[in-house]
């Protein structure tokens, strides 16, 4: 059943008492991620709401759906309505679930169309559009095209409804046209200027469940971020200068900086309403100028790959841009205006930043797979009319190759090196067995043409073991399907570095395997085991990535001492940790006369000192 505007008003204005719960807004999904989803629905009578989920439609798990009352004084409608929202948590990644809704134990909605699929890893597809909500023939004409895409999620770039963002307009121009999509596909929306005209966007915020993690409490619902597959999505409120004021705008920008710095996905897609680079009817909007001056520098500083906006009722794609001008840098930001979701179109004049522009109703089909993002705008005829592909190559940060224990540039043969940058691998992956793999998450690292063993790979970091048989100036090369990045490094004979497991807490254990700590200190005369890297070549032959033998210990070539409070101690053993790849250990005995205190501890290998850590000693 699809409710028209007249039917909606008629139901809400009815004076007669209806027995049982009457469903007035069909269930819709929100905040769908790897382990959770939100299911929301409304009725005309109050009750105890619930949502049940199942993977086989036989065994169901019930979760409460707390009710919120909306009175006419807040909605400007004739009668109250009741909104139920269930936070469905504890779901499995990449899994399809059926769901159904109940009030007072009565099943209100059930069927094969009520289903959700949590995000996972690997290929996926999302669609994006904006400026839709006018109940036009074009808006309705795009719906079956979008349904056929079976997308994982929908991004909306704002002006979800026109003209004022009221409760009734959301029912008529959003929930009604997209009812079949909303049941199975989560919509992630951004606030357009029209969405803010009723109580600063209060209806929009009240009816949607967007992520709230890390967002200041006062701003929740206006901007947010989330991960889906290999993409980190960020929604901003480009109305913030007018709606939230300078303090609110500053909060959002500070949050944006932190969010981008913390993101770990291969791609970052940022979406909001007002375009920084788009021509047409709204070209001189001061909010777009504010975006250009305050938001764009942050996005480009963090090498955001794609920015999606609306506001101009057209399709516009820029050339890759940095600092407001065209850039040949393969990591430069691409800006796409997708404002052709159904509202009346504006013709976009040509500008220097344009790669393609047209006034057509459309949505974007975006397909992501192993470091490549293919973007196609789809028109009312179901056919694409433009195409662009993003495939950023790996880049390494300045000084981005460091010792994995000390995070200094000091490296040695056989040691562990961490490389930091962007687009280093397609997703996060770690080695699960030895010998170590030489390929992880679509990436490898070579030195002199041979592949090096990998402990860990992600878009931002790789942990690698260096070969034992090279020294001096060498070049490491990171390779993905998108390109290569070369890293010049210098390998000294030794570069000792002690691993730490907490502030000043060394990777130092008792003979029974328990960590040496303030609560479990070492004792005078005890033999303890220290773990580190950078002790260099060893006696005997072993390839990097192979586990050290457990029957014949492999000692290091360089002379090694342990200094406790500046007093040298000769170790009982210094070599490769048996059974491990790329890890060194030192076994040494504490002096019998050592005082109970916290002592500084360093390792000296061929005259080169390690980082200093703390050795707690008890009585």
Separation CA 275–CA 588 (nearest Å): 64
What is the DSSP-derived secondary structure letter of residue 184? Answer: T
Query: What mean pLDDT is predicted for residues 235-243?
Result: 96
- Closest to 464 (Cα-Cα) out of 422, 514, 430: 430
**pLDDT at residue 7 greater than cutoff 70:** no
User: How far, in Å, are 17, 79, 166 from residue 82 at the CA level?
Assistant: 15, 10, 17
Answer whether 395-491 and 497-617 agree in fold.
yes
H helix runs in 440-484, sequence order: none
Tens digit of each residue's pLDDT (9 = 90 or more) over 297-351: 999 999 999 999 999 999 999 999 999 999 998 889 999 999 999 999 999 999 9
Complete DSSP assignment for 161-183: SSSS--HHHHIIIIITTTHHHHT
Separation CA 309–CA 328 (nearest Å): 22
- Closest to 235 (Cα-Cα) out of 312, 153, 161: 153
Separation CA 542–CA 93 (nearest Å): 40
Cβ pair 334, 269 in contact under 8 A: no
Q: Where are the domains of the chain?
A: 1-120, 395-491, 497-617
Angle ∠(345,162,179) on CA atoms, nearest 5: 95
Site of tokens 């490296």 = 411
- Closest to 333 (Cα-Cα) out of 426, 286, 268: 268
**pLDDT at residue 137 greater than cutoff 80:** yes
SS (H, E, C) 400-434: EEEECCCCCCCECCCCEEEEEEECCCCCCEECCCC
Whole-number pLDDT of residue 6: 42
What is the DSSP-derived secondary structure letter of residue 291? Answer: I
Tens digit of each residue's pLDDT (9 = 90 or more) over 341-395: 999 999 999 999 999 999 999 999 999 999 999 999 999 999 999 999 999 999 9
Peptide bond into 435 cis (omega under 30): yes
Whole-number pLDDT of residue 2: 42
**pLDDT at residue 17 greater than cutoff 60:** no
Cβ pair 188, 154 in contact under 8 A: yes
- Residue 535, classed as helix, strand or coil, is coil
Complete DSSP assignment for 81-109: EEEEEEEEESPPTT-EEEEEEEETTEEEE
Whole-number pLDDT of residue 508: 97
Tens digit of each residue's pLDDT (9 = 90 or more) over 67-90: 999 998 888 888 899 999 999 999
Sign of the CA dihedral running 173, 177, 180, 185? negative
**pLDDT at residue 611 greater than cutoff 60:** yes
CA 247 to chain centre: 26
Separation CA 552–CA 541 (nearest Å): 12
Query: What mean pLDDT is predicted for residues 133-137?
Result: 96
- At 20, the pLDDT band (50, 70, 90 cuts) reads low
Whole-number pLDDT of residue 446: 98
Whole-number pLDDT of residue 75: 86
**pLDDT at residue 120 greater than cutoff 90:** yes
Query: What mean pLDDT is predicted for residues 500-512?
Result: 91
**pLDDT at residue 1 greater than cutoff 50:** no
Whole-number pLDDT of residue 16: 30
**pLDDT at residue 614 greater than cutoff 80:** yes
Complete DSSP assignment for 368-404: EETTEEEEEEEETTS-B---EEE-PPPEEEEEEEEET
- The terminus-to-terminus CA distance of the chain in angstroms comes to 78
- Closest to 52 (Cα-Cα) out of 93, 106, 118, 119: 106
Whole-number pLDDT of residue 15: 30
Whole-number pLDDT of residue 438: 98
- Closest to 243 (Cα-Cα) out of 274, 270, 268, 283: 274
Cβ pair 256, 217 in contact under 8 A: no
Query: What mean pLDDT is predicted for residues 261-287?
Result: 96
User: How far, in Å, are 35, 209, 223 from residue 87 at the CA level?
Assistant: 11, 9, 19
Question: Which tokens hold the place of 458?
Answer: 């992600």
Cβ pair 234, 214 in contact under 8 A: no
- Residue 490, classed as helix, strand or coil, is strand
Whole-number pLDDT of residue 21: 85
Residues in Cβ contact with 435 at an 8 Å cutoff, skipping those fewer than 6 apart = 453, 545, 546, 547, 581
Tens digit of each residue's pLDDT (9 = 90 or more) over 535-588: 999 999 999 999 999 988 999 999 999 999 999 999 999 999 999 999 999 999
Tens digit of each residue's pLDDT (9 = 90 or more) over 267-279: 999 999 999 999 9
Separation CA 290–CA 248 (nearest Å): 14
Instruction: Output 149 or 505, whichever has higher pLDDT.
Output: 149
Angle ∠(123,212,100) on CA atoms, nearest 5: 65
| Class (C level, CATH) for 395-491 | mainly beta
What is the DSSP-derived secondary structure letter of residue 194? Answer: G
**pLDDT at residue 9 greater than cutoff 70:** no
Tens digit of each residue's pLDDT (9 = 90 or more) over 449-474: 999 999 999 999 999 999 999 999 99
b/e burial code for range 483-508 (CB count within 10 A of at least 16 → b): eebebebebbbbbbbbbbeeeebbbb
Residue 179 phi, psi dihedral angles, 5° rounding: -55, -40
Whole-number pLDDT of residue 505: 85
1-120: CATH, from 3.30.830.10, 3.40.50.720, 2.30.30.30, 2.60.40.380: 2.60.40.380
Predicted TM-score of the model (pTM): 0.93
**pLDDT at residue 58 greater than cutoff 90:** yes
- The CATH architecture assigned to 497-617 reads Sandwich (2.60)
Cβ pair 403, 393 in contact under 8 A: no
Separation CA 474–CA 163 (nearest Å): 63
Query: What mean pLDDT is predicted for residues 495-521?
Result: 93
Surface-to-core class of residue 530, CB atoms within 10 Å of its CB (0-12 exposed, 13-18 middle, 19+ buried):
buried
Query: What mean pLDDT is predicted for residues 170-183?
Result: 96
Whole-number pLDDT of residue 102: 96
Mean of pLDDT over the chain = 94
Whole-number pLDDT of residue 122: 87
Separation CA 293–CA 241 (nearest Å): 12
**pLDDT at residue 426 greater than cutoff 60:** yes
């Amino acid at each position: 059943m699809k409710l028209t505007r007249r039917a909606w008003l008629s139901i809400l204005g009815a004076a007669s008492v209806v027995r049982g719960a009457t469903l007035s807004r069909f269930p819709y999904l929100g905040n769908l991620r790897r382990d959770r989803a939100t299911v929301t629905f409304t009725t005309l009578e109050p009750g105890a709401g619930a949502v049940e989920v199942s993977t086989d439609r036989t065994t169901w798990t019930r979760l409460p759906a707390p009710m919120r009352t909306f009175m006419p004084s807040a909605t400007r409608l004739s009668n109250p309505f009741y909104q139920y929202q269930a936070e469905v948590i504890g779901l499995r990644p990449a899994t399809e679930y059926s769901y159904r809704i109940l009030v007072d134990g009565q099943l209100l909605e059930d069927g094969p169309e009520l289903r959700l699929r949590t995000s996972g890893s690997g290929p996926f597809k999302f669609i994006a559009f904006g400026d839709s909500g006018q109940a036009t023939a074009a808006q309705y004409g795009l719906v079956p095209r979008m349904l056929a895409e079976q997308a994982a999620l929908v991004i909306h770039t704002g002006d979800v409804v026109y003209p004022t963002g009221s409760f009734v307009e959301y029912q008529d121009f959003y929930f009604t046209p997209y009812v079949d999509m909303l049941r199975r596909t989560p919509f992630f929306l951004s606030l357009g200027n029209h969405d803010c005209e009723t109580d600063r966007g209060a209806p929009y915020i009240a009816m949607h469940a967007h992520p709230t993690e890390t967002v200041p409490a006062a701003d929740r619902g206006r901007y947010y971020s989330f991960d889906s597959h290999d993409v980190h999505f960020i929604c901003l409120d480009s109305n913030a200068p007018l709606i939230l004021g300078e303090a609110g705008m500053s909060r959002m920008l500070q949050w944006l900086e932190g969010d981008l710095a913390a993101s770990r996905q291969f791609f970052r897609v940022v979406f909001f309403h007002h375009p920084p680079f788009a021509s047409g009817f709204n070209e001189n909007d001061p909010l777009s100028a504010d975006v250009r001056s305050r938001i764009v520098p942050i996005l480009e500083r963090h090498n955001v790959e794609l920015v999606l906006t609306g506001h101009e009722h057209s399709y516009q794609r820029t050339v890759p841009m940095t600092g407001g001008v065209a850039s040949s840098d393969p990591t430069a930001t691409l800006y796409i205006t997708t404002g052709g979701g159904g509202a009346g179109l504006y013709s976009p004049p040509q500008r220097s930043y344009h790669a393609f522009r047209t006034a057509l109703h459309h949505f974007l089909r975006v397909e992501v797979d192993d470091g490549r993002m293919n973007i196609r705008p789809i028109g009312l005829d179901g056919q694409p009319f433009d195409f662009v592909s993003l495939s950023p190559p790996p880049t390494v940060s300045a000084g981005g190759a460091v010792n994995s224990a000390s995070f200094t540039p000091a490296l040695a043969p056989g040691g562990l090196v961490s490389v930091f940058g962007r687009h280093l691998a397609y997703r996060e992956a770690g080695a699960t067995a030895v010998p170590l793999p030489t390929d992880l998450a679509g990436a490898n690292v070579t030195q002199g043409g041979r592949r090096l063993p990998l402990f860990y790979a992600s878009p931002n970091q790789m942990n690698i073991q260096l070969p034992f048989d090279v020294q001096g100036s060498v070049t490491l090369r990171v390779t993905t399907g998108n390109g290569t990045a070369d890293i010049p490094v210098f390998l000294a004979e030794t570069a000792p570095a002690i691993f730490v497991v907490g502030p000043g807490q060394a990777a130092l254990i008792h003979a029974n395997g328990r960590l040496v700590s303030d609560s479990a200190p070492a004792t005078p005369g005890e033999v303890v085991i220290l773990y580190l890297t950078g002790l260099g070549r060893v006696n005997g032959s072993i390839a990097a990535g192979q586990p050290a033998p457990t029957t014949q210990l492999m000692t290091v070539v360089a002379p090694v001492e342990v200094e406790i409070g500046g007093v040298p101690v000769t170790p009982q053993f210094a070599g490769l940790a048996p059974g491990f790849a790329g890890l060194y250990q030192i076994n040494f005995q504490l002096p019998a006369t050592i005082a109970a205190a916290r002592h500084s501890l360093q390792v000296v290998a061929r005259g080169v000192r390690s980082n200093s850590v703390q050795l707690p000693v008890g009585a």
